[in-house]
Structure 1
Amino acid sequence: MKQIIRDRHGSLRNGWWILAFLVLFLASQPVYRVVSKAIQHQGFEGAWLAPLPVLFLSLVTYACLRLRREGLAAVGLRADLTWARELFYGAALGMALIGLVTGLIFAAGGVRFSLDPTRSLNALAMGTWMFAWAVVLEELLFRGFVFQRLVDGIGAWPTLLGMGLLFAIAHWGNPGMEGPTLAWATLDTALGAILMGLAYLRTRSLALPIGLHFGWNWAQGALLGFDVSGFDQAGWLLPELLAKPQWLTGGAFGPEASVFAVLVDTMAVVLMWRWKGSAKTQPAMPAPVAAVATD
């Protein structure tokens, strides 16, 4: 019985920590709904509520960390220059990746752009605000405490693949998830999750995956004006999809349902896997090809 609860080092097994997180998360939801309604009754709605889910998820995460006698740094949240630098690099990389996808769609004759006549700095700022909170929420949920306990418990690649599939399934209810789009968008969303999971594992920080996720979504929606995962966005540019197959342009779901997104994300996953990273300790993973050749 003791072996079921504790590992050979006498620590509580990771599965029990995941269960504790889920119990606390579910217990927090009635409180979240009460607080959300109270804030709305004060006249704050829409964008003003965006930080609230992040706050509650952060509190649940912090409670689990305190039970483990750890701080927020243990889950990959820190306030230092290294964290800020990795966040910046991640955002730049995310923007570059979606820029490459868009460039390939454009080169294939799938889209043309014009300036959106309704563009404004206020709309750009609102897009930045909303994308930032949505990204932090998803990264805490999918690359945070549970992801990290799974890595410790079952290993890196089973966790990357399993959480990648779960991340993709979580998007199945999005608008436009049907027909060929379902297949291409599911594949690319899973690849994106694996990429961000690797970004965490290579740095042991949430800064790089948060930056990656934000840079991709912000550039795709707030800047280029594409739909993001099926949801309409007001961008600085106004894309017009041309008469090309949906698997090429991504259709109404956005470029994430394009074959080019799958190709670019596959390339990014391989490069992230080959990168040695900046973390002092990393979980056991298949070594990059270059490292194997020099052993």
Structure 2
Amino acid sequence: MNWLVRPLWNSKEGRLRAGWRVLLYIALWLVGPALAHLWVGRPLAEWLWWLFPQLTIFPERVLFSLLTLATMLVGTWLMVRYVDHRPLRDLGLGLDRHWWCDLCFGLILGAGLMLFVFTVEWLAGWVTVRALFWSAPGSGPFLLAIFGPLVVFVVVGISEELLTRGYQMRNLAEGLYLPPLSPRLALLAAWLLSSLFFGLLHIRNPNSSWISTSYLVLAGLLFGLGTMLTGRLGLPIGLHITWNFFQGNVFGFPVSGNNYASVTFIAIEQQGPILWTGGAFGPEAGLIGIVALLLGGVATVIWVRHRYRVLRLCDHWAIYRPWRTRPVALDPLRPTP
């Protein structure tokens, strides 16, 4: 009977093996919000709109996005507590001062990289500005309309980083830490695999291609770099949020093939060579986006070196330590004792 259980259960750690944990979390990520919307979202929205009619000015997707975020946070806590047998901070969610500083830097970095993309394309004559503070007919006042995509991209940034960088990287690194791989190599392999999954996650997006998917794998590598160097999700969450929001609703570009420019600070018309601009998929499928990713990688390394006075991989992410045997507090930049 042992041979039946062994592929599923790690008897040494007393929990499911890493691959099954990752698959279970992906299922939760895919199904949990959908069920919450079906069972709770619609009745909750109708009840709130009946109780507070003024809330009807907000798009329905705002309420559903907030419900998605709540579902994912609760689901993640249940997974790490009862399946992973670890504290939530082990996924890079130790919300200390360093975490919030990393978040702020990530927010600034994502905005700056998209400003770089817009400036280059504008100077090259590849974009034409046709309106400022623009919202499509029926979208409502600009200040209210822009709130919707902001909430959506905050939720996307947190949930996708929890999935790919927080949960996947941590668990894959632990699962891959087997002879002959060292903790460092296991973490690097987990970084690559989670970035590959991140790219494939967008393969069914509108206007996608193998080129855009490949470039999104590189974007996943950038988002994961901050996690590997700090052991925290603050930097990639911040970067992910403003990378998307500034791309779609500040500068009016498509975001991973989706058009969010029904409300945008700068409404544009885009021309130029698709090889560089990414065409209908947006900058993430163009060479200018690759340049931005490389600049983001350099900026991330400089930030970590300046902020933490050390530059090394947090390879302790590949080493599982049972909850009850660990010290009260661990420095994410130091190996697990």
Q: Output the TM-score relative to the length of structure 1.
A: 0.82
Superposition map of 1:15-54 within 5 A: 15-22=19-26, 28=32, 31-32=35-36, 33-42=38-47, 43=49, 45-54=60-69
- Residues 144 and 117 (structure 1), Cα distance of their counterparts in 2 relative to 1, 3 Å cut: closer
| Residue 273 of structure 2: aligned partner | 245
The aligned residue for residue 322 of structure 2 is: none
SS at the partner of 2:134? coil
- Tell me the distance in 2 between the aligned counterparts of 1:54 and 1:123: 20
Letter in 2 for 1:209: P
2:196 alignment partner in structure 1: 165
Q: Secondary structure at the match of 1:200?
A: helix
The structure 2 residue matched to 1:59, chosen from 74, 93, 101, is: 74
Q: Does 1:150 align with 2:172?
A: yes
Q: Which amino acid aligns with 2:256?
A: S
1:75-99, Cα deviation, whole Å (9 max, x unpaired) = 1223333222111100111111122
What root-mean-square deviation, in Å, do the aligned CA atoms of Structure 1 and Structure 2 show?
3.0
Q: Give the one of 291, 307, 325 matched to 1:263.
A: 291
The whole-number CA distance in structure 1 between the counterparts of 2:286 and 2:26 is 34
CA distance, structure 1, for counterparts of residue 242 and residue 31 of structure 2: 33
Farther off after superposition, 249-258 or 20-29: 20-29
Identity in percent: 27
Deviation of 1:196 (Å)? 0.8
SS of 1:115's equivalent?
strand
Q: 1:110 Cα deviation (Å)?
A: 1.2
**C-alpha separation between the residues in 2 aligned to 1:98 and 1:256?**
10
In structure 2, the partner of 1:292 is none
- Maintained 8 Å contact 2:133/2:264: no
**Is the Cα contact below 8 Å between 2:61 and 2:148 reproduced in 1?**
no
Q: Corresponding residue for 2:113?
A: 97
Cα distance in 2 for residues equivalent to 1:30 and 1:90: 29
Displacement after TM superposition at 1:16 (Å): 4.3
Query: How far apart, CA to CA, are the structure 2 residues paired with 1:131 and 1:145?
Result: 19
Alignment gaps of 5+ in structure 2: 50-55, 136-141, 177-185, 318-337
Give the Cα separation in 2 of the matches to 1:30 and 1:272.
Answer: 34
Give the 3-state SS of the residue equivalent to 2:21 in structure 1.
Answer: helix
Q: Map of 1:181-260 to 2, 5 A cutoff? A: 182-232=209-259, 233=261, 234-242=263-271, 244-260=272-288
Alpha-carbon shift at residue 11 of structure 1 (Å): 5.1
Q: How many angstroms does 1:59 deviate by?
A: 1.8
Residues 163-190 of structure 1, C-alpha deviation per residue, up to 9 Å, x if partnerless? 222211221221222xxxx243222211
The answer on whether the counterparts of 1:187 and 1:262 sit within 8 Å (CA) in structure 2 is no
Encode CA deviations 1:196-234: one digit per residue, 9 max, x unaligned: 111111111111000011121111122112221122222
User: Are residue 71 (structure 1) and residue 80 (structure 2) matched?
Assistant: no
Aligned equivalent of 1:282? 314
Q: Deviations over 1:114-157 (max 9, x none)?
A: 43363532233333222111211211121222321012222122
Q: Which residue in 1 is equivalent to 2:10?
A: 6
1:213 aligned counterpart, secondary structure:
helix
* Kept in 1: contact 2:231–2:314 (CA 8 A): yes
Distance 1:196 1:3, change over 3 A: same
4+ aligned runs moved over 6 Å, structure 1:
none
The letter for the 2-side match of 1:116 is L
| Separation of aligned partners in 2, 1:59 and 1:199 | 24
Q: Distance in 2 between matches of 1:230 and 1:105?
A: 18
Report how far residue 15 of structure 1 moved.
3.0
Whether the 8 Å contact between 2:256 and 2:284 is mirrored in structure 1 is yes
User: Structure 1 residues 126, 151: closer, same or farther in 2, change over 3 A?
Assistant: same
Distance 2:254 2:6 in 1: 49
Q: In structure 2, do the counterparts of structure 1 residues 34 and 255 end up closer, same or farther at CA, with 3 Å as the change threshold?
A: same
